Structure 1
Amino acid sequence: MIRRAAFWAALGLAGVAACGGPKDVTPANPLPRPADAVPAPPIVLDQFGYRPDDPKIVRIRQPVAGFDTAWASQPRMTYYVRDAKTEEPVRTFTLDADVKAPIDALSGDHVWALDISKVTAPGEYVVTSGDGAQVSATFRVDAGVYKPPMREAFRTFYYQRAGFAKSAPQAGAGWTDAASHLGPGQDGEARLFSAPDDAGTARDLRGGWYDAGDYNQYTNWTADQCRTLLISYTENPDAWGDDFGIPESGNGVPDVLDEAKWGLDWLLRMQGKDGSVLSVLGRDSGSPPSAAKGPSRYGPASTSATLSAAGTFAFAALVYRDSPAPGHAAYAERLQAAALSAWRWAETNPAVLFYNNDARSKSEGLGAGQQEVEPEYLNGKRYAAAAYLSVLTGDEAFLPVMDAAFAETSMLRSGQLDAYRYEVQDAALFVARQAASPPELRAYLADLYTARLSPEAAPGYGVPVDVLHWGSNGVMATTGTLYLQAGRLSAEAGLAAPYAARALDYLHYLHGANPMGKAYLTNMGAFGADSSVGTYYRTWRTDVPIPGFVVGGPNPGYDWDACCPESCGNETLNAACLGERLSPPYGQPPLKSYREFGDGWPLNSWQVSENSNGYQAAYLRLLANFVE
């Protein structure tokens, strides 16, 4: 039988390359030409495995469009599930390969669904064609199969902590570092971006998490991440133990509450005495992070940042108020006071905007991603903050504001439901669960979710999304969670299990059941994945990638910088363009618009291969629902 390792070796798979550089203009491309893209095998599946009683759908693929068509092979009529150690068949499955599967528009593949759900005995397995020519990754069947990837994915927040030493034993060999951004002029005494020479603007903004592959941090997004982690805890508390290997492990508190507090404490430092909350903190780059010695600069307060913090503080106060851990009751009171103070400022200042790294606010160079929001999303933040505050305080004065804001949401006005308006959607579901909530709201939500989301299996790789773009893996994870919510809303109709199966399709996609045959987490070979991410975009370059980071994923909008191939400043910089666009990710079917590379400007690999705490939190929320 052909082993999977032999499959990769036959294609000449290159070794793991060093990680890419910061998102800035560098004098030359720091990496050699990225290795050629490696096609997925004909059989793709969840490389971590399946719980015994869950549906197990293996995808048999035959490419007809994209870079991998030269490796296409015909599906077989017979497939075996074999014991991975003995290679003995444990079950035989037939596939009606004579019926041509339609071409999946997202991938350019014919895709057949092979249902191996009858394999329920715990063990380690591999799927092969009857003639042994087609071989899958190995996978486990076990009730606790998703705990290892959850542990490593959660630990990435620890590695993203600013101002905190990554020490043995938690950090592991090769990933230790001293506390970063604590020198003169850095986070402990950050200054206003527009007044860098004014010592009177210095603020203590220590802590928090690096947002993505660089070290900047944004209030709107940190608030989202804290709230998502806490919602994940409330959805399945049993998934969150005190043993994830972070410094606080073993203190008697679920580690997710400890990690979320690290982010919340930074948000509290970003709040001024008047209740306003600063919008963004820009940090210097270096590898490792402690090598960054440049100053830290912050952007002014904005209405969106303040409302984001108000809603997250209020929700967090509810969570910590119910925690029996010592000190959490007092912390909840502090969060409630901060939420009310932020709310009052936002109501008095309803339209204060700040665009970072943008000429509109004269802030070019502060941060990277744009954190300011459009009016619809600002209204959604107002609704969410009022909703959580109304339940937290019991004050009915929040209800008229909440109702007026909800009436203006696209969720109510046009029945919009998607992976982007999660702040409003989560708040509406939260309100609907309250005992005093009108039953009409729950009925409306149940009708909306079941009308927009079908419990029936989708063709192809089973992961329909509204659109694919930069950060598609975050969209996939959030869409999977939407299906779980639909199942909960329709449980009385007996649809909880079918909707959970659809949510699992998205999880399996992220774990390798995709046309790239890639588990979209970094360095997970020791935790069950045959083919995980080995090269990704990251300012902190390590010889071996830190495990567990979720990368952005396929992006059909990827392109090199507009200066390429001839206008990047000089011949050396032009040469960094490599003379032609890398394909993939360029010019491929949407789900094949991915490549393992970490090059910075001008190839801009961050469009597909950068990590983000936003993707991370969304993935953990979906995954935790299936961890026992």
Structure 2
Amino acid sequence: MKTSKLLLGLLLSGSLTACGGGGGGSSAPKPASSIAPASSVAPASVAASSIAPSSAAASSLAASSAASQGAVTISSFIVVDQFGYLPHAKKVAVIRDPQTGYDAALSFTPGATYQLMNLDTNAVVFSGSAVSWKSGATFDAAGDRAWWFDFSSVTTPGRYAVVDVEKNVRSPGFNIGADVYKPVLKHAMRSFFYQRAGFPKELPFAELGWTDGASHIGAGQDKNARLFSDKNNTATEKDLSGGWYDAGDYNKYTNWHAYYLVALLHAYAENPTIWTDDYNIPESGNGVPDIIDEIKWGFDWLKKMQNSDGSVLSILGLSHEKAPNQHASPPSSATGPSYYGPASTSATLTSAGAFALGSKILAGLDNPELNTYAADLKTRAENAWAWAVANPNVTFRNNEGVSAGLGAGQQEVDDAGRATKKTTAAIYLFAATGSATYRSHVDANATNATSWVDVWNEPEVTAWLYYASLPDATGAVATSLKNQYQSAFNANNNWPAVRNGDDPYRAYIGTSNFTWGSNRTISRKGLTFHNLIDYNISGIDQTEVRNAAVGYLNYIHGVNPQAMVYLSNMYSLGVHSSVNEFYHSWFTDDSPLWDRVGRSTYGPAPGFLVGGPNPSYDWDGNCTSGSPNAGCGSAAPNPPKGQPAMKAYLDFNTSWPLNSWQITENHNDYQVAYIRLLSKFVPAP
């Protein structure tokens, strides 16, 4: 659809208003300047980071926010990975010309000559022309025409920009270097520190501006959580403190939490030499990689959720009752009560797999304390398996029916989902124990297990490939799994889409896969490619594989129609346009301290991956676009509604009735997928 010049002008000028409600209520309209497309917003101030950026990135921040090289100004139509590129990776700047969507009133046609300029020396190091994508076709998922400027031949480390000589504009600055993603990984991983419940965020570990006391440890909270169905019974109280907030609220879901541990364990095991002990968390410097310390923090909570009979409780949540300060800012000011749900088969199976893989990985670190911890995890895994086998159909659907009000998202699965969880648990139990019982269960369910490869089954397929990598796996099954995976990659939208260049932004997932959490989808798609290397699939070109996978990383880092980094507040690393605000109970709308970069004192903490474009976004039914009505100010915003899939995004954090969580909420599931992909491109110290 075409967006009028009037609407676009209102969005960019700040004249359009939208409601600024929060927590289920409404408040005065919020100026639209706070929800304009991110590329039009330059932060007024950026809090200092305790994770030091490279000197080139730090020195470029001022230049990147306005202009550099005389009159050459930054254009949102020349999009690049704003962190940078590895020396020997594929490097392609995308030049975009909007045809449909909120920016359709604008246009850009590249000039005849493009240059790669070293921003430190002003030297032109490469010159060429931009090549039209698909002979000028419009990419429907983005509503853009596009051109590619390939500067892959430049491998010399430095600080660069892509310049359109004729139009006198350039891209944001970026680095070329072997370690361009290392500080990014630290920030992304540190988001779990900020998500810790029941743990103080204090200097020097919390960065200046994002300190807080321990949350959810008051009367009736996590240390004294009660069964949701028996709230008045003190006999049900359990100490379930710790763990991580699951997303932008303060709930904790066992099925999902256990999987985050699995994903982080894979991130470590697939590239163990890159993980260092200097991420500036309280455990840093203890001789254990900080990712393992964070994993252990997660396991400490999961262990509390396991009952003595081996079963695992399903959820620790905050009731949606009208309790005061239920999801308050900062987290330590939240005073509402905590409740848990009963054990379920799915939560127990997912936990069994996590306990088992944790036992396997931690036992391999040759650390006496962790060896003892790993042995305990192994016992817990086998106890959980035994309970789940004896109780195969125990379900609990939180926040539905009699459990309405407990938590928010639904984590329960159907019969097929439990069967998948059981097989996945068996894979990790076999790795930890070597027992033929688990191997037999795995082998019996291996038929066509990896014959379909897509983003939606990536966690399960990764588990199968992990099984195929184990030395004691059944040889014929392992060979079949790898062959299936290789065959699947030569079909559908895997290698054909990449080799045909079907996405000008070089991150093809298909329009239909742009749904809630599309940035997780992007990350998982990149992982499906890199699995070919990680799990030794034969007959591949490793350079081609890595170039395919890194394209998905480039997309998250700025090679997208928004020309923005989809991580929060990354200006300390020299980016030009980053997520300025996102839906989170701490970094809440209208907070004078943490709402938005450049308007509030600090903005949100750095390193959180937001959900991303979501064409199914919709505001509450009481809002009507362009018409004043209750709670919606003068008009509900567009974007994100009614846009091409990749443009269905807005840099805002307004709660009900505009429901920004559909596109800008963080989620640990997004975070672990991104961290695992990013870690593939970070060198060992």
| Shorter-chain TM-score tier | over 0.9
Spell out, residue by residue over 1:300-359, the C-alpha distance to the aligned partner (whole angstroms, 9 max, x if none).
Answer: 111110000000100010000101223010011000011001001100111111111112
Aligned residue for 2:667?
A: 612
State whether structure 2 residue 553 is matched by structure 1 residue 521: no
For 1:593, which of 622, 638, 648 is the aligned residue? Answer: 648
- Scaled by the length of structure 2, the TM-score of the pair is 0.85
The residue correspondences of 1:162-177 to structure 2 (distance < 5 A) are 162-177=197-212
Provide closer, same or farther for how the CA distance between residues 21 and 385 of structure 1 changes in structure 2, counting only shifts above 3 A. Answer: farther
CA distance in 1, matches of 2:224, 2:164: 62
**Cα distance, 1:374 vs structure 2:** 2.5
Q: Which of 560, 563, 583 is the aligned partner of 1:537?
A: 583
Amino acid at match of 1:44: V
Question: Are 2:38 and 2:578, in contact at CA under 8 Å, matched by a contact in 1?
Answer: no
Secondary structure of 1:87's counterpart equals: coil
**Per-residue Cα deviation, 1:139-194 (whole angstroms, up to 9, x for no partner):** 00011000111111110000000000000011122111000000111001100111
Query: Mapping of 1:20-99 within 5 angstroms?
Result: 24-28=23-27, 31-33=30-32, 34-37=34-37, 41-96=76-131
Equivalences for residues 145-224 of structure 1 within 5 A: 145-224=180-259
- CA RMSD, Structure 1 to Structure 2 (Å): 2.5
Distance in 2, matches of 1:598 and 1:95, equals: 36
1:392 Cα shift?
Answer: 1.3
1:117 and 1:251 map into 2 onto residues whose CA distance is 40
* Alpha-carbon shift at residue 133 of structure 1 (Å): 2.7
Q: After TM superposition, list the pairs within 5 Å mapping 1:91-490 onto structure 2.
A: 91-96=126-131, 100-283=135-318, 284-359=326-401, 362-407=402-447, 411=449, 415-437=451-473, 438=475, 439-452=479-492, 453-454=494-495, 456=499, 457-466=501-510, 467-488=513-534
Distance verdict in 2 for CA 1:96–1:403, change over 3 Å = closer
Q: Deviations over 1:42-62 (max 9, x none)?
A: 110100001111110111111
Q: Deviations over 1:411-451 (max 9, x none)?
A: 46xx3322222332121001111223323332233323343
The TM-score, its normalising length taken from structure 1, stands at 0.92
* Residues 1:160 and 1:21: Cα distance change in structure 2 (over 3 Å): farther
SS in 2 for 1:397: helix
Offset, 1:85: 3.0
Cα 1:13–1:486 shift into 2, 3 Å: farther
Structure 1 distance, partners of 2:303, 2:31, is: 43
Q: Secondary structure at the match of 1:256?
A: helix
- Aligned counterparts, 1:500-511, within 5 A: 500-511=546-557
1:241-287 per-residue CA deviation (whole Å, 9 max, x = no partner) reads 00111111111100000001111111110000011101111133111
- Letter matched to residue 420 of structure 2: G
Match for 1:168: what amino acid?
Answer: L
* Equivalent in 614, 621, 625 of residue 676 of structure 2: 621
Q: 1:448 to 1:12 in 2, by over 3 A?
A: closer
Residues 103 and 298 from structure 1, CA distance in 2 versus in 1: closer, same or farther, beyond 3 angstroms? Answer: same
Matching of residue 512 in structure 1 with residue 558 in structure 2 = yes
Q: C-alpha distance in 2, partners of 1:10/1:94?
A: 35
Equivalent residue for 1:546?
605
Deviates more, 1:25-34 or 1:108-117: 25-34
User: Structure 2: which amino acid aligns with 1:598?
Assistant: N
Q: Which amino acid aligns with 2:569?
A: N
Amino acid at match of 2:305: M
Q: What is the DSSP-based 3-state SS (H/G/I as helix, E as strand, rest coil) of the residue aligned with 1:422?
A: helix
C-alpha contact 1:488 1:496 (8 A) present in aligned 2: no
> Counterpart in 2 of 1:4?
none
- Letter paired with 2:632: C
Native 8 Å contact 1:446 1:490 kept in 2: no
Unaligned runs of 5+ in 2: 1-8, 40-74, 319-325, 588-593, 595-599
Amino acid at match of 2:460: V
- What amino acid is the match of 2:430? S
Sort the Cα spacing of 1:20 and 1:117 in 2 relative to 1 into closer, same or farther, 3 A: farther
The alpha-carbon distance between structure 1 residues 222 and 122, as it changes in their structure 2 partners (threshold 3 A), is same
Shift of residue 519, structure 1, vs aligned partner: 0.3
Does the Cα contact within 8 Å between 1:558 and 1:608 map onto a contact in 2? Answer: yes
Counterpart of 1:603, as a letter, is: L
- The alignment-based identity, stated in percent, is 43
Q: Distance in 1 between matches of 2:639 and 2:619?
A: 12
Q: CA deviation at 1:592?
A: 0.3
Instruction: Specify which of 558, 561, 582 is matched with residue 637 of structure 2.
Output: 582
Alignment match of 2:614 (pick from 538, 549, 555): 555
**Further displaced range: 239-248 or 389-398:** 389-398
Q: Secondary structure at the match of 2:403?
A: coil
Question: 1:565·1:575 contact (CA, 8 Å) conserved in 2?
Answer: no
Change (3 A) 1:488 1:187: closer
Specify whether residues 354 and 579 from structure 1 end up closer, same or farther in structure 2 by C-alpha distance, changes over 3 A only.
farther
Contact map agreement 1:252 1:325 (CA 8 A) in 2:
no
Partner of 1:3: none
Query: Is the deviation greater in 28-37 or in 141-150?
Result: 28-37
Shift of 1:14: 6.9
Q: Which letter does structure 1 place at the counterpart of 2:136?
A: A
Partners of 1:622 and 1:527 in 2: CA distance: 19
On the 8 A contact 2:227/2:341 being kept in 1, the answer is: yes
**Shift of residue 78, structure 1, vs aligned partner:** 1.0
Deviates more, 1:374-383 or 1:454-463: 454-463
State how far apart, in whole Å, the 2-side matches of 1:138 and 1:594 are: 23
Amino acid at match of 1:326: P
- Preserved contact between residue 20 and residue 536 of structure 1 (Cα < 8 Å): no
Q: Give the aligned residue type for 2:681.
A: F
Counterpart Cα distance in 2 of 1:358 and 1:182: 27
Contact 1:315–1:388 under 8 Å retained in 2: yes
Instruction: Note the C-alpha offset of 1:489.
Output: 5.6
Gaps of 5+ in 1: 1-8
Q: Secondary structure at the match of 2:348?
A: helix
2-side partners of 1:99 and 1:214: how far apart?
43
Counterparts of 1:606 and 1:122, CA distance in 2: 39
